[in-house]
């Protein structure tokens, strides 16, 4: 069963708010910009993560230095899962943020 439009937007909004909270609570110099459903995370070294919602596909997209990733929401696990690798969003972010910013973050709830 696919997500309704309202459920999809609620899930993305909640996920982006959780991401903002996690990055805000860090001691790193990180700039966050949220506009029109796109969350941009800018690290001190100039690298970025960009999270965007793709409403027609009901996916959350992530652009990182290492590439672009598309996530579908899995109702059973209540997690965003990469449509190619089946890796959870939180697990992937821990690896990507360490690579890009050299920092360790806990994205357990994602």
Domain boundaries, the chain: 5-101
Residues 6 or more apart whose Cβ sits within 8 Å of residue 96: 49, 62, 64, 65, 66
pLDDT at 24: 92
pTM: 0.93
Q: What is the CATH number of domain 5-101?
A: 3.30.920.10
Count of residues making up the chain = 110
Q: How confident is residue 19, by pLDDT bands cut at 50, 70 and 90?
A: very high
- Which whole-number Å values give the CA distances from 11 to 27, 30, 31, 69, 90, in the listed order? 27, 24, 23, 17, 14
């Amino acid at each position: 069963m696919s997500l309704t439009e309202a459920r999809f937007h609620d899930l993305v909004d909640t996920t982006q708010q959780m991401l903002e909270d996690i990055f805000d609570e860090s001691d790193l110099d990180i700039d966050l910009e949220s506009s029109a459903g796109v969350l941009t995370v800018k690290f001190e070294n100039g690298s970025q993560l960009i999270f965007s919602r793709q409403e027609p596909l009901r996916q959350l997209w992530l652009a990182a230095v290492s590439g672009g990733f598309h996530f579908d929401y899995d109702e059973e696990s209540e997690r965003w899962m990469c449509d190619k690798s089946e890796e959870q969003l939180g697990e992937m972010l821990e690896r990507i943020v360490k690579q890009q910013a050299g920092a360790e973050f806990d994205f357990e709830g994602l």
